[in-house]
Structure 1
Amino acid sequence: EVIAYNILTFACNNAYARSYRAKFSALTKDEIVKAFSNLEESYKFKGLADAGITRHTLDFIYGINLSRALIDASKKILSIGRVQGPTLAFIIDREIEIQTHIPKPYWLIDALLSKDGNKFTARYESIIYNEIDAKSIVDKCKDKDGVVRDIKDDIIYLKPPTPFNLLDLQREAYNYYRLSPSKTLAIAEKLYLNALISYPRTSSQRLPRMNYKQIIKRLSNIRSYYNISSKLLSKDRLKPNNGLKDDPAHPAIYPTGELPKRLDKLEYKVYDLIVRRFLATFMDPAVISKVKAFIDINNYTFIAEGSSILERSWLNIYDYYNEKALPPLRINDIVINLEINSNEEFTKPKPRFNSSSLLALMDKEKIGTKSTRAMIIDTLIKRGYITNRFEPTQLGFTIFEVIKEYMPDILSVELTREMEDKLEKIEEGLIKPSMVISDASERLIKVLNKFIDNKEAIGIKLQTILNNS
């Protein structure tokens, strides 16, 4: 919206107010013809333009001034901004948690059991924090057979996944193929420009009302989707499992039904992920049977858990569920105790972030936008603040320490979240952009004044690290 507003305002003699908007989310002939047949007056989208321009202004005044302050102090090319700061803080705080974690020992007791020749494992019901106690339980249960005292059966109906928004696509592409968020976005945009999918920069998990059967029928011409597509086309009604998140600009990502031509290996993987997710969301819930058996071994309770898929449904096309088999068990069954051991483990801190987990946290905390989060992560790596494995470098730590001591507001999630809330209100026409920009500028000036007063000390810190790196 901002691009169109700027072109119409500055290149077309303030034509925005008298222009019309063709709203479409896919570059197919049908979508474009429909959009131009239903043009909307641009004033309806003025809030989107105002919010976008305000966001660009805030990012500019914060980024250019804060980065200039760092460059001036260090005499090197450095950067920080209202989104870079909190994101770096997430990574540094997690690293501090990892480095300061003191592992504490605990013991898990596992029994290898057998029923009618079928082996399975049961775990003692409690975690043990004392080696002597763990050894005592093992000694008392050794060579003692078990008795099934209780069984709990549950049937779980696992709903199909919601349609992709950009965040979900980026996370899944990383989880399945280890693609970086920026690489996934670049591929998705290419697929969009080739009219294969809808516009990918969306927060929505909701598909628009459209002719789903027509798209699925076209997809059935691709051999790998034929069977699933045929089953869906036999349904009387197709209803997607829409998610809660919506986006006023664009719907969830969906395949257009256009047949792909000459996709490379990674492009096909992303396209295939989008198609399978789209098809899966129309399918019935998968049915899972979960069993929990409580087994008494010499008056100590062990628990064996199992699960099996009764109806695969959408798991046939979008599979991520792992079954765990248990032999058929009934109350009062005797199970043979083949072996029992205690295993010493140690508490662990949370792992370092990866692309998927960091994107999820940024989204949860309202840091950045769907379009900028991948770029922010890439910038932190490019600047040398973190490694490709999301481990902070010494420079990253130093930047964090300097900002935390002299400009703590820049690391604040609350500050950035507050700005995002105000941007939403601008979009809704509830507050004026000038008020938000004025307030942000006043806060920035206070931050910069403190930095300037301590510029020499900051410069020494930064230059020492930079010269030794």
Structure 2
Amino acid sequence: MKQLILAEKPSVARDLSKVLNANQKHKNYFEGDKVIVTWALGHLLSLKMPEDLKPEWKTWQMDTLPMIPKYIGIKPLPKTRGQLKTIGQLAKRKDISEAVIATDAGREGELVARWILEYVKFDKPVKRLWISSQTNKAIKEGFSKLKPAKEYDNLYQSALARSKADWLVGLNVTRALTVKYEDNLSAGRVQTPTLALVRQQEKKIEKFRPQNYFVISLDVAGQTAKLNQKNPYGITEREDAEKLVKKMSQQKGQVTSITEKEKTEPAPLPYDLTEIQREANSRYQYSAKKTLSLVQSLYEVHKIVTYPRTDSKYLTQDMKATMKERLQAISDFSPEVKTYIKNGGKVIQNKVFQDSKVTDHHALIPTEQRPRYEKLSNDEQRIYTMIVERFLGLFAEAHKESQQKVTVAFGEETFTFRQNKVLVAGWKKSEADKPAISWQKDQRIQPNFTVEKALTSPPKPLSEGTLLANMEKHSLGTPATRAEIIEKLIKSELMERTNNGLQVSPKGKQLLELVNPALVTPELTEKWERQLEAIANGKFSSQSFIKEIEKDTASLVNEVKQSTKKYQDFSITTKKCPVCGSSLREKNTRDGKIYICTNPECDYRRRKDPKVSNHRCPQCHRKMEIIDGKNGAYFRCKYDGTTEKMLDKKARSKKMTKHEERRLLNKVNQEAEPQESALAQALKAAMEKD
């Protein structure tokens, strides 16, 4: 008898099959003597859509809202039906004794597998593989410790409840807003409060008014300190600053106090997903989605880091025994690693080992597999370096420094000088200490003041890093879904990426005015996320949660119905449709911006800006634009105005490729080589006879 093992991706299935000796390769699965390894492709199924449940829900109209079905059910995704069919056939094989869920060890991974097993009506025992790294060692250990899938029922119920809540709130509120205001307005229980966080920061920036102020500084032996004030922006006139300086300059200052303390700073704990996304955005301007993709590649493809979608910065006690082996895998990373190995891989920061603070997965750390740096891309190398440096901090001494604080008084006004001396560099890279001043109590100080004009700075727009921090603070989404939420807001044209940070679009600003106040603030969503977590921990009923969501959904839809607010579609331009005369709407697509007709019965559309082709200008050799003319499309160079006829598909396919062109030229050149003359041939023949 054989186990049917269900992985989440083909690449993971390939790794599992190698370890489990499933060497017979088929189109959609691997087979061995004891196992069959197959895969999902992410989700193969989704919740049914409204039109699948009731005919009257097919049409978007206010009368049918709210849509609250007694049972939603699942349906196959059209593009992956073939893989689902294969799993169904494998599940019915008589030599299959049990299934093993080997999808991602998290809430979404659980949902992926459970829906598939439910759909194919799998009625045999089911076990769960729960691993945090994809190394051969971790896979073997995981299969030796398989647990009954029932132990993860609460996690599945939490995932299912999350999915149903998004269906109920998202589809109902989106339909209500779209029908009422006659434009595609997307709302959701997580994406809307996330958008509101970005807008909240924008409002602070809009309210900001720059203000001039003056800074008074005292210079002593090359060190500078600013005047201590309750309000650092309090001096707004130069005259006032000069008066104060004049008053203080009439006397010498005096050192009134010298205090010293020793500060110990341990290294930061390893990363969780959200923190590495934030830091990669700050250092390298990577989007949250890009960072997740890079860490996922390090985990799945290179197998050199542990499971990325974690919300914990801690490790379990039983991992202490693996520390030395992990260090040996990165022994050539930096010189200090060999020292840590000699010390037996002893962790200095023992507070990292806390079982109670590890949820589904422990912190993001290197695996025991030696990295092959030549196979890493530059971006992967950067992320891997960040993960390893944080991990090495666990073995390093704490950073210690002596901090001296000196107060200098000129009458009632004081200045505070600070100077630090590194005692133990520890995990921080040692920096040269600045030249120190030897301060003495009651020391007299010469007045040496400067007055500088300054301007108050506005708050900065939220970057993806700071937005992720805010989402984490308000429990909006999970580490696994936050990147996806940001991308969804951008794709639905509610939010935009700019050089300065994230920005809410005019459409997004209006949505926040039109949507229910309860969805704008994070409190309601925060409450829902806490309840979902409680369901996963077996402390709250998923049925009670869904009943509450249904009640909230009805209330939210009712609010939209009764609203008297107005909506202006900023995407409608002043340009007119050449076919029916209606206004044209500007729309973002993968290919750039296009104009489409606002008349639902008219299908006119055109690009806003000409499409840039790979066809080169014969004059300047730059890429030419494709222009839609009255007699069809043609190429035009925007730099020198050169135009060229655009061949149809048949003619383009007949056009000679560069390879064919080169081969023909070689042939022509060979044929064009000068032939031997008749006299030369006769002489050659005569010489051969001799």
Among candidates 160, 168, 171, match of residue 278 of structure 2: 171
- Which one has more relative contact order, counting CA pairs under 8 Å at least 6 apart? 1
Question: Which residue does the alignment assign to 2:192?
Answer: 85
Pair 443,80 (structure 1): closer, same or farther in 2 beyond 3 Å: same
Pair 47,90 (structure 1): closer, same or farther in 2 beyond 3 Å: same
* Alpha-carbon distance in 2 for matches of 1:322, 1:59: 54
* Alpha-carbon distance in 2 for matches of 1:304, 1:173: 34
Question: Which residue does the alignment assign to 2:525?
Answer: 416
Among candidates 227, 231, 236, match of residue 124 of structure 1: 227
* Alpha-carbon distance in 2 for matches of 1:322, 1:72: 65
* Alpha-carbon distance in 1 for matches of 2:213, 2:492: 41
Corresponding position: 1:327 with 2:442: no
Among candidates 5, 8, 26, match of residue 117 of structure 2: 8
Question: Which residue does the alignment assign to 2:509?
Answer: 397
Contact 1:207 1:254 (C-alpha < 8 Å) held by counterparts: no
Gaps of 5+ in 1: none
Contact 2:173 2:556 (C-alpha < 8 Å) held by counterparts: no
Contact 1:160 1:282 (C-alpha < 8 Å) held by counterparts: no
* Alpha-carbon distance in 2 for matches of 1:385, 1:243: 42
Contact 1:201 1:370 (C-alpha < 8 Å) held by counterparts: yes
Q: Which AA in structure 2 matches 1:293? A: V
Among candidates 287, 295, 303, match of residue 400 of structure 2: 287
Tell me, what secondary structure is at the counterpart of 1:47? helix
Among candidates 412, 430, 434, match of residue 543 of structure 2: 434
Question: Which residue does the alignment assign to 2:147?
Answer: 40
TM-score normalised by the chain length of structure 1: 0.88
* Alpha-carbon distance in 2 for matches of 1:322, 1:400: 51
Question: Which residue does the alignment assign to 2:295?
Answer: 188
More strand by share: 2
* Aligned-pair CA distance for 1:335: 4.4
Among candidates 439, 456, 471, match of residue 362 of structure 1: 471
Pair 322,53 (structure 1): closer, same or farther in 2 beyond 3 Å: farther
Q: Which AA in structure 2 matches 1:112? A: D
Q: Which AA in structure 2 matches 1:124? A: L
Pair 440,324 (structure 1): closer, same or farther in 2 beyond 3 Å: farther
Pair 346,433 (structure 1): closer, same or farther in 2 beyond 3 Å: same
* Alpha-carbon distance in 2 for matches of 1:175, 1:328: 38
Contact 2:218 2:449 (C-alpha < 8 Å) held by counterparts: yes
Matches of residues 61-460 of structure 1 in structure 2 within 5 Å? Answer: 61-114=168-221, 119-126=222-229, 127=232, 128-129=234-235, 131=237, 132-142=239-249, 146-193=253-300, 194-208=302-316, 209-210=318-319, 211-220=322-331, 222=332, 224-225=333-334, 227-235=335-343, 237-240=346-349, 241-242=351-352, 246-261=357-372, 262-297=375-410, 300-316=413-429, 326-337=436-447, 339-388=448-497, 389-403=501-515, 407-454=516-563
* Aligned-pair CA distance for 1:13: 1.8
* Alpha-carbon distance in 1 for matches of 2:420, 2:280: 27
Contact 1:110 1:121 (C-alpha < 8 Å) held by counterparts: yes
Question: Which residue does the alignment assign to 2:567?
Answer: 461
Q: Which AA in structure 2 matches 1:420? A: E
Contact 1:163 1:243 (C-alpha < 8 Å) held by counterparts: no
* Aligned-pair CA distance for 1:251: 0.8
* Aligned-pair CA distance for 1:418: 1.2
* Aligned-pair CA distance for 1:178: 1.9
Contact 2:289 2:483 (C-alpha < 8 Å) held by counterparts: yes
Corresponding position: 1:29 with 2:132: no
Tell me, what secondary structure is at the counterpart of 1:173? helix
Pair 386,322 (structure 1): closer, same or farther in 2 beyond 3 Å: farther
* Aligned-pair CA distance for 1:322: 10
Pair 298,436 (structure 1): closer, same or farther in 2 beyond 3 Å: closer
Task: Using the TM superposition, name which of 24-33 and 244-253 deviates more.
Answer: 244-253
* Aligned-pair CA distance for 1:31: 0.8
Contact 1:286 1:311 (C-alpha < 8 Å) held by counterparts: yes
* Alpha-carbon distance in 2 for matches of 1:200, 1:361: 20
* Alpha-carbon distance in 1 for matches of 2:547, 2:402: 58
Tell me, what secondary structure is at the counterpart of 1:303? strand
Pair 239,30 (structure 1): closer, same or farther in 2 beyond 3 Å: farther
* Aligned-pair CA distance for 1:247: 4.0
* Aligned-pair CA distance for 1:287: 0.5
* Alpha-carbon distance in 2 for matches of 1:381, 1:288: 45
Gaps of 5+ in 2: 1-109, 574-585, 587-690
Contact 2:272 2:364 (C-alpha < 8 Å) held by counterparts: yes
Q: Deviations over 1:51-78 (max 9, x none)?
A: 0111111112222222233333454443
Contact 1:163 1:207 (C-alpha < 8 Å) held by counterparts: no
Tell me, what secondary structure is at the counterpart of 1:197? coil
* Aligned-pair CA distance for 1:30: 1.0
TM-score normalised by the chain length of structure 2: 0.61
* Alpha-carbon distance in 2 for matches of 1:12, 1:268: 44
More helix by share: 1
* Aligned-pair CA distance for 1:168: 1.3
Contact 1:307 1:325 (C-alpha < 8 Å) held by counterparts: no
* Aligned-pair CA distance for 1:167: 1.1
Pair 416,140 (structure 1): closer, same or farther in 2 beyond 3 Å: same
* Alpha-carbon distance in 1 for matches of 2:206, 2:432: 33
* Aligned-pair CA distance for 1:139: 1.4
Q: Deviations over 1:317-363 (max 9, x none)?
A: xx8x99765433232444454x4123344544532211121111111
Task: Using the TM superposition, name which of 209-218 and 289-298 deviates more.
Answer: 289-298
Contact 2:177 2:560 (C-alpha < 8 Å) held by counterparts: no
- RMSD over aligned CA atoms reads 2.5
* Alpha-carbon distance in 1 for matches of 2:129, 2:305: 18
- Across the two proteins, how many residue pairs are aligned to each other? 449
* Aligned-pair CA distance for 1:298: 5.6
Q: Which AA in structure 2 matches 1:5? A: R
Question: Which residue does the alignment assign to 2:61?
Answer: none
* Alpha-carbon distance in 1 for matches of 2:269, 2:550: 40
Contact 2:330 2:371 (C-alpha < 8 Å) held by counterparts: no
Question: Which residue does the alignment assign to 2:596?
Answer: none
* Aligned-pair CA distance for 1:103: 4.2
